[in-house]
Amino acid sequence: MKSLIFRTITPVIVSVMVLFSIFVLLRGHNEPGGGFIGGLIAVAALSIYGIAFGVETVRRAIVFHPLSIAGAGLLLATLAGLLSMVFQVPFMTGLWVYPVVLGEEIPLSSVMAFDIGVYLVVVGAVTSIALSLEERGED
Amino acid sequence: MNVTDLTFLALCLPFLGALAAPFLTRMLGHNAAWVLALIPAAIFVHFAGFAAGIAEGTAVTGGYTWVPSFDVRFSWLIDGLSLSFILLISGIGALIVLYAGGYLKGHPHQGRFFSFLLMFMGSMLGLVASDSFLMLFVFWELTSITSFLLIGFDHHREAARRAAFQALVVTGGGGLFLLAGLIVLWNISGVTQFSALASLGPMVKASPLYLAALLLVLGGAFTKSAQFPFHFWLPNAMEAPTPVSAYLHSATMVKAGVYLLMRLNPVLGGTPEWQLILPVFGAATLVIGALLAVRQTDLKLMLAYTTMSSLGLLVMLTGFGAPYAIEAAVLYLVAHSLFKGALFMVAGIIDHETGTRDVTRLGGLRSAMPLTFAIALAAAISMGGLPPFFGFLAKEEVYAALSSSDLRSIVFAVLAIIGNALMFAIAFAVALKPFVGKPVPTPRHAHEAPILLWLGPAVLALAGLAAAVLSGTVHAMISTPMASAIAGVPRVVAISLVPHIGVPLALSALTVVVGIALYIGLARVRAGVASALAWIGWGPDRGFDQAISGLVRLSFAITRRLQNGRLDSYMTMTFVAIAVVLLVPPFVFGELALAPVFPSIPLHELAIMIIAVIGLFAVVLAKDRLTAIVSLGIQGFSVAVIFLLYGAPDLAFTQFMIETLAVVILALVMTRLRLSPSDHRPFRQTLPDAAIALACGLGAGLLLLKVTQVPFDTALSDFFAQYSKTIAHGANIVNVIIVDFRGTDTLGEIAVVMIAGLAILSLVRLRAGSLRRIADNDPDAEEAGR
């Protein structure tokens, strides 16, 4: 799209949206949010970026093929579920650790890894659809 | 290792051998046969060790629990019946492996062939060793599948592929009948093992489901054992390499049906139905098979049709019910496996060494192949039922069973004489004609076969002689226990080579006289049968082709109708189905929602609802599609706001994002597909579409209304609210449910999202015209195009 205003404002909007999507993803366990919603926000961000600067720019920006991102997410989610088997508890049981970093207790869990997997799958799969539809160079 | 584990190992050994066979063959070439033959030899030795105990009347059982909740075990029963089969399968199997080593010497896929052959051997052993119903069924179908692989071994030829497919359809389909029959037996008796079922015969026979069980079991047995009219796959199976024909299609697999009948004889046998169906179909198969055999000039096909008639004779004897009939079936089964296996291998040798197996183009081979001639003659004498071979004992016992003075016995005796005389003639047509007379030039210069080829048939032919001479030992170890197991009560087999003047001997003499006459006039009989068949003109083999092509046409017609490649018709079908599912049940079951009581709605909520409705009207009334898509977004956003107002922020949040993306993606799809910007549907199409849409909306609305009117069970929400923080350490219940409580669901869902992404990507990338369309599969067009 050739609108100068749109092109100028897009990088700002997109970076804020991506940052916000990660924020929504991470806070999801205790407040509204989570992997699905966060993923969808990120997809929206990437779509806007694609509309402003073209599909190729988006592909370069995200480095990996969107479906590879989705695949990695699915793998991460599965491994997060399988992790519990190593500790002799049923599949998909949440595991928590509370390391103290710089005097601050940070709760980490396999559930969070699972949610990040969900985020990546949504980002990858839907971006792949959106980008392939936007792509018109091949016609 | 105890006996149970050793037996289990013996049953698994062929499959392990099948894994190793390709590597061994790559290392040792055709000599791998010597190593691989050790597998069946070891199995033979292991099970032969049970013979003495079984002869005293104690069956060997063992096994492991498989599915305890259904009382399904992986268990085996080694009694006189299964032991005889196991010894035949493993003994002949060892010889066949050696023979295959010589027959397929230098074949690029010899290792694969050994592998298939051993897999079959394992399946067949499992079949006859099975005590549990389900295990028998699994191995039954495995023999069909391995037989498919072996018949289609030479898969470059269309005839081989067709024969393999036909055998699989007929025998595999019959296996499904068997499964149904076994389930009926299970329902009647409440047991899942043959050893437990054997004593429940009276209970099964008294059941109203007896006839159903019988017919279903017969459906399995008759297809497997090539009984008329399901016989046609067996001659076609001769497309397989000769070792397969000798092993599967004469000595072992085709006898699986007979085995099943013998195994179930104490349970299902002895009733009027049993004694009517089995002898009638058996005798028909006997005579028809022998007549069809006469018409053939291909050595293997002649043998294949006589195999069919022998199977008919066995089925007839199993169901005949007279004294000596079971004993005769036992003796004939053993004798047939020995002589027919040998004759098939001889036919293979002739084919291998001369390049043809057309009996009219062979002659005078006795000087070039004296050893093969001797083997062939020995096997043919046994098949013809002449002393001093085991076949003679078998035939004497057959006539002993049929030589009563009642009408039924006389009719079946006449049929047996006709069948046996024809088989006598064919035995010598196969084993004598190619060797005597003037030498005829053959495609390949004839010379004696190498040891790997002649060893197998020689051992089998000699076994036929030894078994007759040492009949006392054979009866004690094999025949008597086997006959007792089939009859369910102790039986004694006593027949020997010592002459015994009587009706059976006279019938034997008559058979031989008729047989010699038929042998002399074989060419004339062949012409007669050929012209009779030409006059009939239709057979089950053609019927099979017609049935299959009818099936293909039917599925093509259905596919073209249902999957016409038009998105709008798929959408119509889907939404009509949804409307029916939503609307019909409430009316049929009187579960309609009551009229709702409208609460007082605050002004701001009312405003949002009105916006949603306006959005809907905008969609319907929009002039162009882009406006419609954006208007749909208005409606979606309004609903999201309502979610927000009613305390579901997560839901609202997701809804906002979905609506945004839906608008973006729909707009992209529109530009991508280059749809015309406006809707050009004529009114006669808009009206039904609108009706379907209204019906769906109404149905969904009524359903939701009804759902809100039934009492709400709070057990789950209470649970989640209570434990979300304590167990899962999360305050956001929705998210905790998604990623923790019901995480496995989510895992499945994201897998679906992933697959949908893949599928859509490949759809978008598709190039029109690069696809094979449904219409290209039209069977009629295909035929026309040739």
Q: What is the DSSP string of B181-196?
A: HHHHHHHHH---BHHH
Q: Which residue has the tokens 């279903």?
A: B216
Task: Look at the alpha carbons of A63, A69, A71, A73 in this order and tell me if their dihedral is positive or negative.
Answer: positive
| pLDDT for the residue numbered B780 | 67
Secondary structure of residue B42 in the 3-state scheme: helix
Q: Which run of H or of E encompasses B178? A: helix B173-189
Q: Which run of H or of E encompasses B313? A: helix B299-320
C-alpha distances in Å from residue A71, one per residue of A82, B680, B763: 16, 41, 19
State the Cα–Cα distance between residues B248 and B734, nearest whole angstrom: 62
| pLDDT for the residue numbered A138 | 44
For A45-87, how does the pLDDT look when each residue is reduced to its tens digit (9 = 90+)?
A: 998 898 888 889 999 999 999 999 999 999 999 999 888 888 8
B660–A44 C-beta distance less than 8 A = yes
Range of the domain at A79: 4-134
Mutation choice for A interface testing from B646, B658, B735 by most A CBs within 10 A: B735
A77–B750 C-beta distance less than 8 A = yes
* Among candidates A44, A121, A133 on the partner chain, residue whose Cβ is nearest the Cβ of B764: A133
Query: Would you say residue A104 lies in a domain?
Result: yes
B730–A111 C-beta distance less than 8 A = yes
Under the banding of pLDDT at 50, 70 and 90, the label for residue A29 is: confident
Query: Would you say residue A20 lies in a domain?
Result: yes
Q: How many domains does the structure of chain A reveal? A: 1
* Among candidates B736, B738, B761 on the partner chain, residue whose Cβ is nearest the Cβ of A132: B761
Phi-psi sector, B490: left (phi>0), alpha (psi -120 to 50), beta? beta
State the Cα–Cα distance between residues B750 and B753, nearest whole angstrom: 5
Q: How many other CB atoms are there within 10 angstroms of residue A5's CB atom?
A: 7
**Which chain B residue is nearest to residue A28, measuring alpha carbons?**
B735
Q: What is the C-alpha R_g of chain B?
A: 35
B672–A128 C-beta distance less than 8 A = no
| pLDDT for the residue numbered B612 | 92
- DSSP assignment of A5-45, as one string? HHHHHHHHHHHHHHHHHHHHHHHTTTSS--HHHHHHHHHHH
Is residue B114 a contact partner of residue B5, using CB atoms and an 8 Å limit?
no
Query: Would you say residue A14 lies in a domain?
Result: yes
| Averaged pLDDT, groups of 10, chain B, 786 residues long | 87 93 91 93 93 87 86 89 93 94 89 94 94 93 94 91 93 94 93 89 90 94 91 90 89 91 91 92 93 89 92 92 88 92 92 86 85 92 89 89 87 91 90 85 82 91 91 88 89 81 86 90 87 85 89 90 83 94 89 81 90 91 86 90 88 89 85 75 87 94 89 86 83 85 90 91 71 62 52
State the Cα–Cα distance between residues A124 and A25, nearest whole angstrom: 15
**Which chain B residue is nearest to residue A134, measuring alpha carbons?**
B668
Query: Would you say residue A139 lies in a domain?
Result: no
* Among candidates A32, A122, A130 on the partner chain, residue whose Cβ is nearest the Cβ of B649: A32
CA distance A40 to chain B (A): 6
What residue ranges do the domains of chain B occupy?
295-520
* Among candidates A29, A37, A74 on the partner chain, residue whose Cβ is nearest the Cβ of B754: A74
Is residue B379 a contact partner of residue B318, using CB atoms and an 8 Å limit?
no
Is residue B493 a contact partner of residue B479, using CB atoms and an 8 Å limit?
yes
Under the banding of pLDDT at 50, 70 and 90, the label for residue A137 is: very low
**Which chain B residue is nearest to residue A97, measuring alpha carbons?**
B729
| pLDDT for the residue numbered B65 | 87
